[in-house]
Structure 1
């Protein structure tokens, strides 16, 4: 099945010029020399030189035939072989993604560590500090962190290189920029897995028989990592391509940046080579994640060793409603103000009575733009997350067994690249950006649901129900959905700000909302050049994303 998806993806990329209605010869000529006139003779010369395909089917079949023997073809723009460039970019991206994944895992463990130690001593996680911290970290845009690191740590403090990829020191700031937000996501998965582990009977048995807190803490850590490691491998595979913005900030010649450059120039051999490499690594990472899950659980996953999950019910929790009320108040006040009036005499003013949140580079009121932009940013992020929950939950729960497949193929594609492909066909816009994010947003939900469903199927009560003749529908309603759906629903809620950030990243590149839109991603893109002079211009949309993340994360808590 994964092979079918890979071949289908190759055909889709090969059809890009025909889908967009652009002549590939004209596009290549423009990429080579913007000043040369695209007359019939010049276009014919380009077609003959590069032997451009006349149909997407013939071109893709020729490329697949060469790729099977290791020949990725030559660039339509430079005429140089593709394989050496892809190999070099892959080495850079694998190194960066590995460092970032380690940062993400370490960040996630550090966030949940106080709750883990408390659980080992008392049997209860206690508090919501990990939830809030994880939500805040997950809500920070990676390109914002990257820009701040460059401006403050690299330039002002001189503590790290500003750009390039020449030594391990060049990886520190990019890995932190990519890994810290991803660590916020991992911490939420770890926190949910820790709560589930505490409800399992073995923890009570161990405590009753006198196991010490240190031993119990290590066992709980291993149990939670078993659920989180597939997500970490997804993070690794996703970072290979989704680090386009961070690679651009630090001028890193990675694979995602290579794929984006090839897509913008419609250099199809380069795009096909980069995407094929991303997909193969994604499949490998997905397989390793499944293997790690099975290895950490050991015989329990195969010998009815898992115990029943305790149903999760909503608990009274006022904090998200208080924070949500503050966010809604700011949005409501902003909606009654004018977001489009330009006052150049008042540009980049700090917060004041007239402009409580300051003004932007054109003198527009930031509070007004914040309120109007919330409808676009939060609304689109919630819609994408609901679609991801529906699709991912169905795919994850209904899957027969954990194996690599379509999810791992699509996870390797960065939303930026998918957004570029869609924009080439439909044109840039917020709707196309939302579709691009939704096409990959369901995958972490599906993998999480798949992991939990595999544990439920390995439980004694599930196998007893099967042996007793229970039908698939009954088992789905009574066992799988009650055990899996509440947890992945929290995961989907937690990903609302993450999906909103993906939309913001596409808007940052001009592929989402219009450049003068008050959408929060556009606001961040417009304010980044002034981050040192007018930090409030960046802080306003960033605070909106952070508050949205906290509300989404704490809207439901676990009570057992």
Structure 2
């Protein structure tokens, strides 16, 4: 990362805010692996819909849900699940999308036509609707929800990689390497892929927020994991019927989803502004 990029990132308050939000949730997720105030799955019907406070000598900082489970503990554990889900979904989508986009952009011809028409088919409907269809076919469950969201995200990375591969393969240093006898694998690994990292990093950062939001949406619709798993979307769905008389049970997971998605979006926008020379000059000016 060049000095101009680092300077632009340091001056970008939006990027700094996003990075702080993401870092905060990552910290919560790490802490949740080793400590939560209560067992996130422990049921205590005596504490049903308990407001924030102390009950029978136990502190419930965010209150308890409809079956007496501690909201704070479940929200902390939900951060770990949501970030892990987002990371796995984005990683899988990038691997497949980069491979397909590279084939389409570098080789062109029938490979480009077939692969891009396949991407167009995936983009023909809104992402969440396509994900719902895929989960309906595969069956409910967090793993299948992740697969569905990952499949829907593939075109985003494939199209970025295709455009970059088409741009880079015509550069003079690539033409020179080919004229000197360099093979396709050498050109792809040493010339094409390294020069496509910047837009992929930006898309991956923005994609984390989308993956978390879409997975939470599927869980809210009952297409995610079982009710005992402290997943944010599922928590909102379970408590939505109590929102009028026990609003504190819905607010923590709802605010958590909003803030973590906002954090990744701000961070992604900041990275895009810093890594794009034209946008960097505009922001510096």
Q: Please say which structure displays the higher CA radius of gyration.
A: 1
Name the structure 1 match of 2:86: 381
Asked if 1:343 corresponds to 2:45, the answer is yes
Name the structure 2 match of 1:329: 31
Deviations 1:19-53 (A, max 9, x none): xxxxxxxxxxxxxxxxxxxxxxxxxxxxxxxxxxx
Name the structure 1 match of 2:70: 365
Asked if 1:521 corresponds to 2:218, the answer is no
Asked if 1:129 corresponds to 2:10, the answer is no
Name the structure 2 match of 1:443: 155
Larger RCO, structures 1/2 (Cα 8 Å, 6+ apart): 2
How far apart are the structure 1 equivalents of 2:264 and 2:30?
Answer: 11
The answer as to whether partners of 1:407 and 1:443 remain within 8 angstroms in 2 is: yes
User: How far does residue 529 in structure 1 lie from its aligned partner after superposition?
Assistant: 4.3
How far apart are the structure 1 equivalents of 2:20 and 2:80?
Answer: 24
The answer as to whether partners of 2:164 and 2:196 remain within 8 angstroms in 1 is: yes
The answer as to whether partners of 2:50 and 2:63 remain within 8 angstroms in 1 is: yes
How far apart are the structure 1 equivalents of 2:150 and 2:35?
Answer: 31
Deviations 1:194-226 (A, max 9, x none): xxxxxxxxxxxxxxxxxxxxxxxxxxxxxxxxx
The answer as to whether partners of 1:327 and 1:544 remain within 8 angstroms in 2 is: no
How far apart are the structure 1 equivalents of 2:217 and 2:65?
Answer: 19
Shift in alpha-carbon separation, 1:330–1:542, aligned structure 2, 3 A: farther
Normalised by the size of structure 2, how large is the TM-score? 0.72
How far apart are the structure 2 equivalents of 1:334 and 1:365?
Answer: 10
The answer as to whether partners of 1:389 and 1:489 remain within 8 angstroms in 2 is: no
Deviations 1:353-374 (A, max 9, x none): 7112222244321022223334
User: How far does residue 397 in structure 1 lie from its aligned partner after superposition?
Assistant: 2.1
Shift in alpha-carbon separation, 1:361–1:476, aligned structure 2, 3 A: same
Shift in alpha-carbon separation, 1:516–1:360, aligned structure 2, 3 A: same
Query: Alignment partner of 2:11: what SS?
Result: coil
The answer as to whether partners of 2:65 and 2:249 remain within 8 angstroms in 1 is: yes
User: How far does residue 441 in structure 1 lie from its aligned partner after superposition?
Assistant: 1.6
The answer as to whether partners of 1:334 and 1:371 remain within 8 angstroms in 2 is: yes
Deviations 1:403-457 (A, max 9, x none): 6411111122445544554555543222222221122122111112222222223
Normalised by the size of structure 1, how large is the TM-score? 0.40
The equivalences for 1:185-200 within 5 A come to none
The answer as to whether partners of 1:381 and 1:499 remain within 8 angstroms in 2 is: yes
Deviations 1:304-335 (A, max 9, x none): xxxxxxxxxxxxx9986565324433564327
The answer as to whether partners of 1:335 and 1:372 remain within 8 angstroms in 2 is: no
The answer as to whether partners of 1:388 and 1:445 remain within 8 angstroms in 2 is: yes
How far apart are the structure 2 equivalents of 1:320 and 1:416?
Answer: 23
Name the structure 2 match of 1:550: 263
Q: How many residues are aligned here?
A: 257
Name the structure 2 match of 1:394: 99
Shift in alpha-carbon separation, 1:535–1:451, aligned structure 2, 3 A: farther
Query: Alignment partner of 1:388: what SS?
Result: helix
- What stretches of structure 1 of length at least 5 have no aligned partner? 1-118, 136-316
- What stretches of structure 2 of length at least 5 have no aligned partner? 278-285
2:61 to 338, 356, 359: 356
The answer as to whether partners of 1:351 and 1:359 remain within 8 angstroms in 2 is: no
The equivalences for 1:253-272 within 5 A come to none
Query: Alignment partner of 2:189: what SS?
Result: helix
Name the structure 1 match of 2:283: none
How far apart are the structure 2 equivalents of 1:470 and 1:485?
Answer: 21
Shift in alpha-carbon separation, 1:423–1:322, aligned structure 2, 3 A: closer
Name the structure 1 match of 2:219: 507
The equivalences for 1:96-245 within 5 A come to 124=8, 126-131=10-15
User: How far does residue 538 in structure 1 lie from its aligned partner after superposition?
Assistant: 3.1
How far apart are the structure 2 equivalents of 1:418 and 1:538?
Answer: 27
The answer as to whether partners of 2:90 and 2:207 remain within 8 angstroms in 1 is: yes
Asked if 1:429 corresponds to 2:141, the answer is yes
The answer as to whether partners of 2:243 and 2:250 remain within 8 angstroms in 1 is: yes
How far apart are the structure 2 equivalents of 1:549 and 1:520?
Answer: 15
2:203 to 488, 491, 505: 491
User: How far does residue 348 in structure 1 lie from its aligned partner after superposition?
Assistant: 4.9
Query: Alignment partner of 2:168: what SS?
Result: helix
